[in-house]
């Protein structure tokens, strides 16, 4: 159990376009979802925490207007990278948790390449 999926797994887009990444908890209801960004050979950097039905809490330095997060249901959160630029190219990973669990379950990640 506790499976989290992400879609797409890879995306290549042109500079200036917007990209939406979906994160789904397949067999549990996730009250909290986390979005991370990871640069090559670096650790995970938390971008934002989203609770179902409320606005996401962004970490310092993360532009909320550029990285739009929506957590509309207990099984789905989306991250939209707006007006993407090459420096937004990265590995984006979501994770999900419930109030009862301390553990976060990770999605497989989405590799974004902006040309």
Q: Which residues bind another protein (CB under 8 A)?
A: 34, 41-44, 46, 49, 91, 93, 102-109, 111
Please, what is the minimum distance in Å from the beta carbon of residue 86 to another protein? 19
Query: Could you tell me if 19 and 13 are in contact, meaning their C-beta atoms sit under 8 angstroms apart?
Result: yes
Please, what is the minimum distance in Å from the beta carbon of residue 52 to another protein? 16
Q: Which helix (H) or strand (E) holds 48?
A: strand 45-51
Query: Could you tell me if 94 and 24 are in contact, meaning their C-beta atoms sit under 8 angstroms apart?
Result: no
Instruction: Return the residue matching tokens 């971008």.
Output: 47
Residue 69 or 93: the one with the smaller Cβ distance to another protein is 93
Please, what is the minimum distance in Å from the beta carbon of residue 15 to another protein? 23
């Amino acid at each position: 159990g506790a499976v989290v999926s992400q879609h797409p797994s890879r995306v290549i887009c042109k500079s200036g376009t917007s990209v939406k990444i979906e994160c789904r908890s397949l067999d549990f209801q996730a009250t909290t979802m986390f979005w991370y960004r990871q640069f090559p050979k670096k650790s995970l950097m938390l971008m934002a925490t989203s609770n179902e039905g409320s606005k996401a809490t962004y970490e310092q330095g993360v532009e909320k207007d550029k990285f739009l997060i929506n957590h509309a249901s207990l099984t789905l959160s989306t991250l939209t990278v707006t007006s993407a630029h090459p420096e937004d190219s990265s590995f984006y990973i979501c994770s999900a948790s419930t109030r009862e669990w301390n553990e976060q379950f990770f999605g497989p990640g989405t590799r974004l390449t902006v040309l």
